[in-house]
Amino acid sequence: MPQNYKEERQHMVSSQIERRGVNDPGVVKAMKSVPRHLFVPYEFRHLAYQDSPLPIGHNQTISQPYIVAYMTEHLHLNKSDKVLEIGTGSGYQAAVLSLLVDSVFTIEIIPELTDMARLALAECGYHNVYCKSGDGYHGWMEHAPYDAIIVTAAPPKVPQPLIEQLAIGGRLIIPVGPQLGTQYLKLFIKKENRLVQKSLLPVRFVPFTREIE
């Protein structure tokens, strides 16, 4: 019988997430539910519930569980929300989001990762996640505006198209900074005539990748 890692998942949430201050009931429940081991390469499954990022191929990583939970909590999501994710990666973050909102639209620049994530999400039953391969800098205008946008790679500055595709009252969470310098996780809230910004904590994300134009 395949290992389902339920005990490891519960321990991950209690020791890495709740103990460090993430206590939104919906986020905690989602983190306890999503099988992270099914979103990492087979050879790393035994490490899936450790407090660390893991390689997923193509020089990309799956974020550590705490960061996934922390970013999700700070979006203050509602069940009716429509969310845009930039940087699908393995699909794990999208799976967590899918349990909290109406729909998730996620973009990944590496086609092979898009295909892997789409398959994993479908096999796990997360049917309100819509994936496409493309340059996330431009967002996904077809489905805008979004109640929340989450970016899982670090650009040197916030892409303007993402701000434009954010609904009034919408929240954008994004790591910003140079590849080799200090990056900060930032939260933006879009008001009628301004953008409110808050720096949350220093982080280390893979760099934001662009298509060659």
For residues 16 and 99, give the distance between their C-alpha atoms in angstroms, rounded to a whole number. 20
Return the CA Rg of the chain.
16
Neighbours of 21 (CB within 10 A): 10
Taking Cα atoms as reference points, which of 167, 135, 173 lies closest to residue 151? 173
DSSP-assigned beta bridge partners for residue 184? 176, 202
Q: Which of 14, 33, 63, 98 is catalytic?
A: 63
Taking Cα atoms as reference points, which of 27, 136, 121, 30 lies closest to residue 75? 27
DSSP-assigned beta bridge partners for residue 172? 149, 188
* Preceding amide of 145 cis, omega within 30: yes
Rama region for 122: left / alpha / beta (φ>0; ψ in -120 to 50; rest): alpha
| 63 assigned to active site | yes
DSSP-assigned beta bridge partners for residue 207? 154
For residues 213 and 211, give the distance between their C-alpha atoms in angstroms, rounded to a whole number. 6
- The catalytic residue positions are 63
